[in-house]
């Protein structure tokens, strides 16, 4: 049986209900412990212990690591989640279906005193909301009784059954389970093979990096109908830690590396879109001409006319002595838009 999880929307003690609902994700706090994508339960405990023991003690670290592990390792894609604020913050809850595995977004790992919108909620999962503003008054008593002060816990069996009944009466078909079609799987696999073949011929050093990333991305394609670019950013960041790659925009001021991974995962002209990320990458090239051997771009939007007129000449000049490949990602796979 699938679970339903009850989550309090207060990562790092900051109320995030509106962000959860508007941006289609859930998150927990505990900033500073890093990416947990490859961590097992004991790793999580050790990371919490090393950072929080001196201030909060061992019992806090044990309790915290249990919550974090549930969020990281126990919640399954497709399970239900109820976001329940304390009553003084709202009389409505949100109900959604978890739409991704765990991912870490380093941009939201800040621990500043003042909330700047990025504080302490970097451990995340994507969600498809079924109900964004469900009044508590409509909830059956077994569900209400299950609410507690715990950050994260499962709804009991009676509450789960009553929740399913409630959602079905409100028009939600909970028997539907999305699975990747064979047609889409073939499209994605063929696009990976085509891109890899071209890269092995022209940019062999980048081909191995792409192959490893493509395997991870394929798993993301299998999880959901859409590409979750936040999840993708987290996976690429995790993989980069093992290949000594400079990440843009995350490592904007980091040291020069043999390889550069540039992630332009937004609209063409957005702050995290290709135009701006290309500028940051070119600045990196100027500083690291000797150390850098090749750059692999991943982009989610493409404008061929603007690229040819304003960006390509500069990349061409750099590519005379360095490997450069630009990969466009869509819901159906990969395509190479530039390679030299």
**What pLDDT, in 10s, does the model give residues 104-148?**
998 899 888 888 889 999 999 999 999 999 999 999 999 999 999
The whole-number average pLDDT for the span 16-41 is: 95
Say if 177 falls within a structural domain: no
Q: Higher confidence at residue 236 or residue 190?
A: 190
Same domain assignment for residues 151 and 188: no
pLDDT at 1: 65
Instruction: Please give the residue range of the domain that contains residue 138.
Output: 4-169
**Residue 186 pLDDT > 80, yes or no?**
yes
Split at pLDDT 50, 70, 90, the class of 231 is confident
Angstrom distance (rounded) from CA 7 to CA 17: 10
Same domain assignment for residues 138 and 244: no
Q: Is the Cβ–Cβ distance between 129 and 20 less than 8 Å? A: no
Say if 175 falls within a structural domain: no
Angstrom distance (rounded) from CA 339 to CA 278: 15
Give the tens place of pLDDT for each residue, 239-294.
887 888 899 998 777 889 999 999 999 999 999 999 999 999 999 999 999 999 99
Same domain assignment for residues 46 and 153: yes
Q: Which of 109-113, 149-153, 168-172, 205-209 has the lowest mean pLDDT?
A: 109-113
Same domain assignment for residues 162 and 204: no
Token couple for 271: 């702050």
Q: pTM score, two decimals?
A: 0.84
Q: HSE, CB side, 13 Å, CA atoms: give it for residue 150.
A: 17
The whole-number average pLDDT for the span 95-112 is: 92
Question: How many folded domains does the chain comprise?
Answer: 2
Same domain assignment for residues 151 and 13: yes
13, burial (CB in 10 Å: exposed 0-12, middle 13-18, buried 19+): exposed
**Residue 10 pLDDT > 80, yes or no?**
yes
81: domain CATH number is: 3.10.590
Same domain assignment for residues 12 and 65: yes
Same domain assignment for residues 130 and 276: no
pLDDT at 258: 92
Angstrom distance (rounded) from CA 105 to CA 157: 33
Average pLDDT over the chain reads 93
pLDDT at 30: 97
State which of 169, 199, 226 marks the end of a domain.
Answer: 169
Same domain assignment for residues 157 and 199: no
């Amino acid at each position: 049986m699938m679970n339903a999880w009850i989550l309090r929307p207060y990562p790092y003690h900051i109320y995030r209900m509106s962000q959860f609902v508007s941006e289609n994700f859930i998150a927990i706090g505990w900033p500073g412990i890093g990416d947990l994508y490859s961590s097992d339960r004991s790793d999580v405990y050790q990371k919490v212990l090393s950072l929080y023991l001196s201030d909060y003690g061992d019992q806090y670290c044990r309790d915290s690591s249990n919550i974090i592990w549930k969020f990281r390792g126990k919640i399954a894609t497709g399970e239900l989640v109820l976001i329940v604020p304390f009553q003084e913050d709202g009389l409505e809850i949100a109900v959604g279906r978890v739409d991704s595995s765990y991912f870490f977004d380093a941009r939201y790992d800040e621990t500043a005193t003042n909330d700047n919108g990025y504080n302490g909620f970097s451990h995340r999962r994507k969600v498809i909301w079924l109900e964004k503003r469900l009044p508590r008054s409509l909830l059956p008593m077994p569900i209400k009784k299950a609410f507690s002060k715990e950050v994260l816990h499962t709804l009991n069996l009676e509450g789960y059954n009553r929740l399913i009944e409630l959602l079905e009466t409100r028009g939600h078909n909970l028997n539907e389970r999305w699975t990747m079609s064979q047609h889409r799987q073939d499209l994605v696999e063929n696009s990976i093979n085509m891109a890899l073949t071209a890269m092995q011929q022209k940019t062999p050093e980048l081909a191995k990096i792409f192959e490893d990333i493509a395997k991870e991305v394929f798993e993301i394609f299998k999880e959901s109908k859409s590409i979750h670019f936040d999840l993708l950013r987290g996976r690429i960041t995790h993989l980069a830690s093992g290949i000594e790659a400079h990440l843009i925009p995350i490592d904007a001021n980091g040291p020069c590396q043999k390889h550069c991974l540039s992630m332009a995962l937004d609209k063409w002209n957005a702050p995290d879109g290709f135009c701006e990320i290309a500028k940051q990458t070119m600045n990196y090239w100027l500083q690291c001409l000797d150390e850098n051997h090749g750059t692999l771009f991943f982009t989610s939007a493409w404008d061929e006319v603007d690229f040819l007129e304003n960006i390509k000449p500069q990349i061409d000049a750099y590519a005379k002595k360095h490997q450069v490949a630009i990969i466009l990602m869509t819901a159906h796979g990969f395509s190479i838009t530039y390679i030299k």
